[in-house]
Structure 1
Amino acid sequence: MKYPKVSILIINYNGGDKVIRCLNSVMKLDYPSYEIIVIDNGSSDGSQEKIKKEFSQIKLVENKENLGSVGAHNQGFKLAKGDFILGLDDDAVASPSLLKNLVKVALSNNKIGIVVPKIYYYSKPNIFNSTGFFLNPITGKMKDLGIGKEDKGQLDFQREIDYVPSSIILIKKEALKTAGGMNEDYFVYYEDSDWCLRVRNAGYKIVYTPNTKAWHDCKTQGELSPFRVYHYTRGKTLFMKQSSTPLNKFLFILFHIFLYSPARIFSFILKGKFNLIKPYIQGTKEGLSSKRK
């Protein structure tokens, strides 16, 4: 097997001990040729000092402010010297075989641009966190065939998929150059969906492989916050506006404004989450009014 150079890109924001755990797992990768780049997005928890102390051999970029997932990824893409880029969130954990098996799949077909492994919840090591998404063109919701389910071998087959999370992802540098970096209309949420769509539109395939695994230390159901509600709502409406056919865009807007939004706002009221109503409305308005850069 060939071992082309891989740039491992880790985006850190207040990762604390989790980013150290992520880096420790990277150091155990069974792969001979890689560089490590960490983009710190203005952390305030001392992550940068921990990284410099324990991993002096890596390239650490310290941003003075949080550039978001998009800004940090694009920053790292420009620095990457490898033929492939392995993107990891700061709370990801790689298995030793992760990189070797992802690269092997990517090399098997010139048209494969992105490869993802089985991704499990770190807190529930045999429960799927993601195996790739398919989009409902009317609601804008992403459907993952595996999320929340126990791995019983039901997804032990390689398949082409439409969308993947950027938390653990291998992309071919050639595909990145053709499709471009992440769309800076986004800050976080749906930025990876927009990116995947452009990779596919550039003629590349996105593939899920069951032959290797990784873990993501995220919550199964995260607590809603004004920040999350605003950016998720804005990202979804912006993505559907920019990527849909005219008919699907029209149907999505009807669904979102007249069915989904009233139900969503009513649920906030019932739960006493009045502080989420304004960011939800603002996210919807800005997502629908934003223009592609």
Structure 2
Amino acid sequence: MKSVSIVTVNYNQPKVTEDLLKSLLEVNTYPDLEIIVVDNGSKVNVVPEWEVKYWNVKFIRSDVNTGFAGGNNLGIRYATGDYLFLINNDTEVTADLIGKLVDRLEANPRIGMISPKIHYFDQPDMLQYTGYTPMNYYTCRNACIGQFETDRGQYDHLSGVTGYAHGAAMMIRREALEKAGLMSENYFLYYEELDWCERIRKAGYEIHTDLSALIYHKESVSVGKRTALKEFFMNRNRILFIRKNAPSSAFFIFCCYFLAAVVPRNIFQYLRNGEYGFIPVFLKAITWHFTNKPDSTHLGFPLSR
């Protein structure tokens, strides 16, 4: 039996993380499991308390918030499993979830990464994810298949190759990880898993879904719906993803599209909604690219703890 390392990241959500641990320890039926929790610079360090309460879980504490990629990468470095399952701390598993994903990876060595079907936790019959369409490099747009629809099994036939895995739940083969490397930490938040999928494909693997496997996701627990942090990184990283992954001709067309369509549209929406503070944040997300290379570690946004 293949061993699986679970990696999850906690940031100021100890109760949510404990719900996940309870789910992994009491609901999951896959036996060969290593659970790693990274506390990513939370204001209150609960790791000492957790180490007593959950003796069979490995805890790692970072004194600073290193973002989604940085926190997961830290956990990955300590993981020993044949497969690594990165899941958000605001998820809860189903009993046979992990076993089904392992079985699919074992059956097809071409799969480098796989995601399950995702339902919204608060509306358990509603789909969040059954796969992604490919990325349009000219607009940096793609679609999440089935999102917000009631699950009637209408997409279950799509199990197989997909555009991208979902960052809330993605299992990676160790060999694929070793070839593709860790997630790029300069994204900090958003688009890093899409970039990772691109590199896994370039390493010779496929990205799949297994829609017979199910996980529940409590969406937007850690970041919220609309914040300056989200506006900055969603826009900066949208451009960064294309800079890193698209051919130069596609990047040029994307820049023309972004400046001609996205910039005026977003500024108009900020003005219409009275969100005046988002305008300098949005412009800062764009101008970051004038002074930074694609692999720059300068985030460009002040992070509060």
| TM-score (ref. length: structure 2) | 0.91
For 1:189, the equivalent position in structure 2 comes to 190
Which whole-Å CA distance do the structure 1 matches of 2:210 and 2:122 have between them? 22
**CA distance in 2: counterparts of 1:275 and 1:119, whole angstroms:** 34
SS at match of 2:178: helix
Partner of 1:172: 173
1:24 corresponds in structure 2 to 22
Equivalent runs, 1:4-15 vs 2, <5 Å = 4-15=2-13
Q: Distance in 2 between matches of 1:8 and 1:117?
A: 15
Figure out how many residues of one structure are paired with residues of the other and give that number: 291
Query: What is the correspondence of 1:267-282 to structure 2 with a 5 Å cutoff?
Result: 267-282=269-284
How large is the Cα RMSD of the aligned pairs? 1.7
Secondary structure in structure 2 of the residue aligned to 1:150: coil
Residues 137 and 212 (structure 1), Cα distance of their counterparts in 2 relative to 1, 3 Å cut:
same
Query: 2:5 corresponds to which letter in structure 1?
Result: S
C-alpha contact 1:236 1:287 (8 A) present in aligned 2: no
Identity of aligned residues (%): 29
Partner Cα separation in structure 2 for residue 61 and residue 94 of structure 1: 22
Worse-superposed segment, 44-53 or 274-283: 44-53
The separation in 1 between residues aligned to 2:50 and 2:167, in whole angstroms, is 22
Q: Is the 8 A contact 1:121 1:218 kept in 2?
A: yes
Question: 1:19 and 1:60 mapped to 2: Cα distance?
Answer: 12
Q: Alpha-carbon deviation of 1:177? A: 0.3
Give the 3 Å change call, closer, same or farther, for CA 110–22 of structure 1 in structure 2.
same
Map of 2:293 onto structure 1: 291
The aligned counterpart of 1:137 is 137
Deviates more, 1:95-104 or 1:211-220: 211-220
Q: How far apart, CA to CA, are the structure 2 residues paired with 1:145 and 1:197?
A: 19
Alignment match, 2:267 = 265
Tell me by how many angstroms 1:288 deviates.
5.9
Residue 114 of structure 1 is matched in structure 2 by 113
Residue correspondence of structure 1 range 185-224 to structure 2 within 5 A:
185-219=186-220, 222-224=224-226
The TM-score, its normalising length taken from structure 1, stands at 0.95
Q: Aligned residue for 2:303?
A: none
Bigger mean CA offset, 239-248 vs 111-120: 239-248
1:4-31 alpha-carbon deviations (Å, 9 max, x no partner): 0111101111122111111111112111
Partner Cα distance (1:215, 1:287) in 2:
36
> For 1:209 and 1:265, how far apart are their aligned partners in 2?
40
CA distance 1:122–1:45, change in 2 (3 Å)? farther
Structure 1 unmatched runs, 5+ = none
Change (3 A) 1:12 1:219: closer
Deviations 1:55-94 (A, max 9, x none): 1221101111101111111111111101100111110111
Partner of 1:256: 258
Q: Deviations 1:118-169 (Å, cap 9, x if unpaired)?
A: 0011111111112222222222123111111111111112120121222111
Q: Distance in 1 between matches of 2:75 and 2:97?
A: 20
Q: Please tell me the residue identity of whatever aligns with 1:200.
A: R
Q: C-alpha separation between the residues in 2 aligned to 1:129 and 1:148?
A: 6
What SS does the corresponding residue of 2:143 show, helix, strand or coil? strand
What secondary structure is seen at the aligned counterpart in 1 of 2:123? coil
2:290, 2:197 → 1: CA distance?
A: 21
- AA aligned to 1:240 is I
TM superposition shift of 1:266:
0.9
Amino acid of the structure 2 residue aligned with 1:147 = Q
Structure 2 gaps, min length 5: 296-305
